[in-house]
Structure 1
Amino acid sequence: MQTWAVANQKGGVGKTTTTLCLARGLADAGFRVLLVDLDPHASLSHAFGIPVEPPPRGSYELFTDATQMLSRLAHGTPVEGLVICPAQPSLATLERRGATQPGLGLALGRALHAARDTYDYALLDCPPTLGLLMVNALAAADRLIAPTQTDPLALHGLRDMLRTADMVERSRRRPLPRAIIPTLHDKRTRSGQNSLEQLRETYGEQVSPDAIPLDTRLRDASAVATGPKLASRGADAYREALQWLLDPLSLQCEAA
């Protein structure tokens, strides 16, 4: 099983949409896909119609009960081959527990390791803050997928995210390849074009060849999650990004 952590320390960069579109593309291609929602806001879970009340069993239990298995916490979705382990607001309380409860830093990694033969891919939708949940995801991941808007403020957030990835990589003592996906790109603006050029100059082949354009159809996450295969510029761009991610040469570039 390949585990991808979709993360950025800045919010509003299309992180959940990226997680959703990549997972949907993998499932449509015939892979067995597990989504793990680690964001207490649970936007990814809501996209699949999972109710807020009563709180569903999901990713919180992975940190409070070491015997829990992802396959038992996963909920089915309308997409064949795609299941989700939903988030709950109680995830926000784990930061306080992490200071006093040993072993929480490796809880997610243990659960993913136990599920390695059940799924082909696991995609982790991380909260937009550096803390226990994001570090768990990065420590367990085979790859970091970092969506970023093409604007100057977002590029600052990306640098912070990659510094965090470097820190976790040193701690876990194995490579953490990273792929950068430019999102919400408006090619009509000079700022957008300049920021995209700066991304490519700074990070080279770690950046997806095609930027994801602004696309209002992608704002309806529920339609992307549960509806038929979406036909739009943004959806097509995500399919191209997925093909790039699945190309072995791209992984070599990310690890270089």
Structure 2
Amino acid sequence: MEAMRAVQILNPSGEVTMPRPERTRVMCVANQKGGVGKTTTTVNLAVALALHGNRVLVVDLDPQGNASTGLNVPHHTGVPDVYDCLINSVPLEEVAQAVEGIPNLWCVPATIDLAGAEIELVSVVARESRLARAIAAYPGHFDYVFIDCPPSLGLLTVNALVAAQEVLIPIQCEYYALEGLNQLINNINLVRQHLNPRLEVSTILLTMYDRRTRLADAVEQDVRNHFGDKVLQAVIPRNVRVSEAPSYGQSVMTYDPGSRGATSYFEAAQEIAERGVKEPVSRNA
């Protein structure tokens, strides 16, 4: 069974494809709470979609550069990165790097320079829409653009929310999960009202689910009652393989494709792809 799952996920023949959206879906992965699986979710969903026929760009907007690490993309000081796009208006295609070993996947890395961008952006003209302009000016076509946000609600996250059409919120199945979520939703509503009327919370993904605890079950029920259909059926379990993969510069998809973590992210990616084909009109209206 594990070998069969691995073949399905790695898709070496390229026969298995996930549906491609009619237009580019720009998804911002956000939650101001740290440690909920934002970067892990961004990296694994991007890899799963790319392995199954979609052209995907990952924009690492977190100064820690963890998404760049997870995709094994160089992001040491001196490497052209997303900071250059935001502050110096360098075109995105000059900064995007192809991800080794995974066709159809590109990454715009983040270096430590990005830590100062929050302050430098304050005095820049049209500071909230710098990233949106950079993505819009990209000459190639992508099916998906995933923006990995920092765990805060500053100008970098605002840039991501203005650039995106959809927000994907990973929620950890723990007691504090729903605390602070109201603040995030309020900020998303403010951005929608003043800067980006197309923005919507389209997807909620439950992460770090531990089936042995009643608490995880209770959090899941709360989130499903509150957000309804926006919550994916696929749930990401606590899985050692998911935690180990980044230390090898890999996603769990390529590190251990037969693991429960890889299967769960594959199912989540499939669900996102199928939803995008079903409802393209409402999202881009």
- TM-score, structure 2 normalization: 0.83
SS of 1:213's equivalent?
coil
Q: Verify the 8 A CA contact 1:41 1:87 in the aligned structure 2.
A: yes
> Offset at 1:205?
0.8
SS of 2:250's equivalent?
helix
Q: Verify the 8 A CA contact 1:224 1:230 in the aligned structure 2.
A: no
Question: Cα deviations across residues 53-105 of structure 1 (Å, max 9, x unaligned)?
Answer: 43311100111222x22111011212111111100111111222222222221
Q: Which residue of 2 aligns with 1:6?
A: 29
Give ranges in structure 1 of 5+ residues lacking alignment: none
Q: Verify the 8 A CA contact 1:35 1:122 in the aligned structure 2.
A: yes
Aligned residues: 254
Where in structure 2 are the equivalents of 1:61-210 lying within 5 Å? 61-66=84-89, 68-78=90-100, 79-115=102-138, 117-178=140-201, 179-210=203-234
Q: Verify the 8 A CA contact 1:206 1:254 in the aligned structure 2.
A: no
Question: Cα deviations across residues 175-212 of structure 1 (Å, max 9, x unaligned)?
Answer: 32221100000111111111111001111111111211
Amino acid paired to 2:96: A
Amino acid paired to 1:239: F
CA shift in 2, pair 1:81/1:229, >3 Å: farther
Percent identity over the alignment is: 34
2:250 aligned to 223, 233, 244, which one? Answer: 223
Q: Verify the 8 A CA contact 1:95 1:131 in the aligned structure 2.
A: yes
Q: Verify the 8 A CA contact 1:244 1:250 in the aligned structure 2.
A: no
Amino acid paired to 2:176: L
> Offset at 1:39?
0.2
Question: Cα deviations across residues 100-137 of structure 1 (Å, max 9, x unaligned)?
Answer: 22222111000110126432211101101011110000
Q: Which residue of 2 aligns with 1:30?
A: 53
Give ranges in structure 2 of 5+ residues lacking alignment: 1-23
CA shift in 2, pair 1:223/1:46, >3 Å: closer
Q: Verify the 8 A CA contact 1:77 1:226 in the aligned structure 2.
A: no
The CA distance in 1 between the partners of 2:198 and 2:54, in whole Å, is: 25
CA shift in 2, pair 1:57/1:69, >3 Å: same
> Offset at 1:229?
6.8
Amino acid paired to 1:192: A
Superposition RMSD in Å: 2.2
Q: Verify the 8 A CA contact 1:37 1:84 in the aligned structure 2.
A: yes
CA shift in 2, pair 1:254/1:13, >3 Å: farther
SS of 1:181's equivalent?
strand
The CA distance in 2 between the partners of 1:115 and 1:85, in whole Å, is: 12
The CA distance in 1 between the partners of 2:79 and 2:112, in whole Å, is: 10
The CA distance in 1 between the partners of 2:39 and 2:250, in whole Å, is: 14
1:247 aligned to 271, 274, 281, which one? Answer: 274
Amino acid paired to 1:247: E
Question: Cα deviations across residues 115-167 of structure 1 (Å, max 9, x unaligned)?
Answer: 26432211101101011110000111011011010112121133322222111
2:39 aligned to 5, 9, 16, which one? Answer: 16
